[in-house]
Amino acid sequence: MYFAALLARTEDGWKASDTELDDVETLSDLTDLARDASVDEDTVLVFIEQEDAWFGVVRVDGEEDPRIYVSNASAAARSSYGEILLTDELLGREPGAEDTIAALEELVGLDGTEDDEPEAPDNHNADTDDDGPDADVVPAGPLGDTGVLSDLGLPEAELLMLRTDALAEIADALGAAEVLETVR
């Protein structure tokens, strides 16, 4: 079960709106959604939460690049909405590298044999199998800009300690708990 909301800062305080992410496929789509909710190009926060598994905060300030924080990257990687936030840049990998490697392996047939050679026996130990293509790339735990909310009233150390009901605690620190609760 997911919850997603936008918090847009205005001169009168925060304005909250719930949001549907069904049409959002990329971080760029999510950023555009946030900018559309912006008042005078002021700060907009996008909150995404999957029950108690993970939460993410995307901060958009005008035309600047979005700032992202994810509470548990490995849990988010198993989520279609989490994958939107886990960009190549955030994960510290070359953009498109995974797609390039997969395409080359398919093109060359990298099974370790020549065309006429029999296939080598599979000595791969099941205990060493990773959990998927990103298992060695996506770290467990927090990832991203831990200072994303520092200037808004939530220091890095407090953000890192949040676990359950994190979005309510973030909204409380920002002085936006009541407006967030209206869309929850």
From CA 120, how far away is CA 69, in angstroms rounded?
A: 44
For range 58-75, the mean pLDDT? 96
- Would you say residue 42 has pLDDT above 90? yes
Distance of CA 143 to the CA centre of its chain: 9
Q: Which residues have C-beta within 8 Å of that of residue 130, sequence separation ≥ 6? A: 136
State residue 1's pLDDT score.
84
| Least confidently predicted of 9-18, 53-62, 130-139 | 130-139
User: Distance (Å, rounded) from C-alpha 43 to C-alpha 114?
Assistant: 57
N-terminal to C-terminal alpha carbon distance within the chain: 13
Residue 95 has a pLDDT of 72
The model's pTM? 0.78
What pLDDT, on the 0 to 100 scale, is given for residue 40?
86
161 pLDDT above the threshold of 60: yes
Ranges 87-101, 104-118, 145-159: which has the least confidence: 104-118
Answer whether 14's CB lies under 8 Å from 36's CB.
no
